[in-house]
Amino acid sequence: MSTNAAKNLFIYGSLFCFLVLVILTIDTMGKLDQRAPEITEKVAAGKKVWHKYDCIGCHTILGNGSYFAPDMTKATERKPKEYLKKFLLDPRAIKQDSAMPKLGLSEEEADSLIAFLEWTSKVDTNDWPPKPILASATAGRTASTGQMLFQKYDCAACHQIQGLGGTAGPDLTHAGLKQPDVEWHIKHLKDPAGTVRNSAMPNFSHLGDEDLKALAEYLITLR
């Protein structure tokens, strides 16, 4: 190949590739609105809060960001909103060892940010992040009523047992040793904030006495 031929190939080939990119971009832009829910005023305000506090300087969203803190794309999918709000306002009041400092968000900012994160959780991301294989493998395994309730209400989103589960709330591996009283657990499930100071856990009084008892009985078996 002569130098001139190489030069022409480089120039026209690159321009052609760029043209293809532009065409694909136009096509994509036309499709994006159908792949995500409508952007309300609150969602738009939440996105501005996201930028104001430079959240992406620690977190990732849609998998892009700083890898220092958890991905936020599906944050609202498993964590209760009451918890997220209290946590955003003062992370270390809720979780003493949290790496996240108090950034000074107002209540209104926290609400909009949560609305924004609810929006991202509903974006069609081609099934990302994938469901962990262990979660798929153990789903539907036979268990006690209390254990099934634990799964049904996704308590593991915030609580760990034997290393598996979230770290937003206290580790429950030895929950039965720390608090062996069934009645205490029932009372706590009905009104967490009234039982434990600064608790950000939502209340589960809607479960009904029978289920609450079953759940509490399961919790005291954790030793």
Residue with tokens 């100071």: 197
Under the criterion CB under 8 A, does residue 124 sit at the interface with other proteins? yes
Q: What is the sign of the dihedral through the CA atoms of 30, 35, 38 and 41?
A: negative
Please give the single-letter amino acid code of residue 17.
C
**Which residue, 28 or 198, has its beta carbon nearer to other proteins?**
28
In the bound complex, what is the minimum distance in angstroms from residue 121's beta carbon to other proteins? 11
- 201 phi/psi in degrees, rounded to 5: -75, 135
What is the rounded CA–CA span in Å between residue 175 and residue 182? 11
- Residue 26 interacts with other proteins (CB under 8 A)? no
- C-beta of 98: minimal distance to other proteins in Å? 9
Half-sphere exposure in the Cβ direction for 49 (13 Å, CA): 23
Is 37 among the residues that bind other proteins (CB under 8 A)?
A: no
Angle between helices 107-121 and 81-89 (to 10 degrees): 130
Among 42, 85, 121, 123, binds other proteins (CB under 8 A): 123
**Nearer of residues 127 and 210 to other proteins, judged by Cβ:** 127
Site for other proteins in 76-105 (CB under 8 A): 99, 101, 103-104
Query: Which secondary structure element, helix H or strand E, spans residue 15, and what is its range?
Result: helix 3-32
Taking the CA atoms of residue 132, residue 138, residue 140 and residue 144 in that order, the dihedral angle to the nearest 10 degrees is: -130
Between 109 and 211, CB nearer to other proteins: 109
Least CB distance to other proteins at residue 186 (A): 27
Residue closer to other proteins by CB (options 58, 193) is: 58
The CA distance from 170 to 166, in Å, is 9
Distance of closest approach, residue 200 Cβ to other proteins, in angstroms: 16
User: Could you tell me which stretch among 57-65, 140-148, 203-211, 212-220 binds other proteins (CB under 8 A)?
Assistant: 57-65
Site for other proteins in 138-167 (CB under 8 A): 160, 163-167
- Scan residues 164-223 and list those touching other proteins (CB under 8 A): 164-167
Q: What's the start-to-end Cα distance of the chain, in Å?
A: 75
